[in-house]
Amino acid sequence: MDVTTIGGFLLAIVMIFMAISGGLTNFIDTPSLLIVIGGGLAATAMSIPLMTLKRVGGILGAAFRERNTNAKVLIQTMVKFSEIARRDGILALEGALDEIEDEFLKNGIQMAIDGTDPDVISDTLSSDLEQMQNRHANCKAVFELLGKYAPAYGMIGTLVGLILMLAELDDPASIAPNMAVALVTTFYGALVANVFALPLADKLDKKNQQESISKEIVISGVMGIQSGDSPRVLEQKLSIFLPPDLRSAE
C-alpha cells in the first residue's frame, strides 16, 4: 500500500474532525451530502466514457497501491543484460526471459533477440508507452472531474438552502439553522474536492510520471543492448534518468 496516500488522507480527515469536533452535529446533513456526492458522481459519469467508468475501482486502487518500480534497480538490470549480450551474444538473453516479470521489458528484449529492426522496436515500445500515458490521463481525469463538479454541486446545494431559507423569512428563528444547512453543502463540496478527488488526481499523475520514466529506461536500454553498447556506456546513458544525487551513488 502507498503509505503517503493513506497517511495524507487520514491526516487530513483527522485534522478536520479535530477542528470541528466541538460542533460535529452541525456539519451533518444528509440532503446536502446527497446533493454533493450524488450530483458530483452523476456529472462525472456523464463526462467520461463507459469503459473508463467501469475501471473506476481499479483506478482508485492504483492510487493507494505502491508499485515496485525502482529506476536504479532497473538500470542495473539493463546493464546486467548488456554484459550478458556483450559476453555471450544477444541470443544468450533468451535464457533470462523467464525471470523477467515486466511484460514491457520482456517484449523489448524478445524483439532484440529476434533481430527486429531497431526502428520497429523503438516505434513499438514508444507506442506502448504512449497508450499507457493516454490510459493514465483518462484515469486521472475521473478524479479531476469529480474535484471540479463536487464544489459546483456544493454551491447548488447552498442555493437550494438559501431559497428555502428565504421562503421562511417570516420565522426569524429558522433563519440561522437554515443558513447553517445551506453553507454545510459548500463545505461538503470543498471537502470532496480537496481531501479526496484532487489529491488522488495529483497522485495518479506522479505515478504516471514514475512509470513513464521506467519505460523510457527500458526503451533506451533495449536499443543500447541491440546496438552493442558496452555496459559502462549503457549505464552512463541510462543514468540521466536518475536524480543527480543518485547517479554516482554505489
Mean pLDDT of the chain: 89
Whether residue 249 has pLDDT greater than 90: no
Distance from C-alpha of 155 to C-alpha of 36, rounded to nearest angstrom: 9
- pTM as predicted: 0.85
Contacts of 165 (CB under 8 A, 6+ apart): 174, 175, 178, 179, 182
For residues 125 and 108, the answer to whether their CB atoms sit within 8 Å is: yes
Model pLDDT, residue 248: 58
**Mean pLDDT value of segment 85-107:** 92
> 22 vs 16, 26, 30, 187, 237, CA distance in Å?
11, 9, 19, 17, 59
* pLDDT 10s digits, 145-192: 999 999 999 999 999 888 888 887 787 777 777 777 788 999 999 999
DSSP state letter for 242: S
**Residues 120, 123, 127, CA angle at the centre, nearest 5°?**
140
Angle at 121 between CA 85 and CA 131, to 5 degrees: 130
Segment 70-85 mean pLDDT: 93
Give the closest residue to 65 by CA, choosing from 194, 207, 197: 207
Max CA separation in the chain (angstroms): 91
- DSSP code per residue over 123-162: HHHHHHHHHHHHHHHHHHHHHHHHHHHHHHHHHHHHHHHH
Q: Is 150 exposed, middle or buried (0-12, 13-18, 19+ CB in 10 A)?
A: buried
Instruction: Give the pLDDT confidence of 37-52 residue by residue, as tens digits.
Output: 999 999 999 999 888 8
pLDDT at 250: 46
Residue 142 to residues 60, 149, 209: CA-CA distances in angstroms? Answer: 10, 11, 18
> pLDDT (tens digit, 9 = 90+) per residue, 184-223?
999 999 999 999 999 999 999 999 999 999 999 999 999 9
User: How far is it, in rounded angstroms, from Cα 220 to Cα 128?
Assistant: 14
Locus of grid cell 487530513: 12
Q: What is the pLDDT of residue 107?
A: 96
Q: What is the pLDDT of residue 108?
A: 96
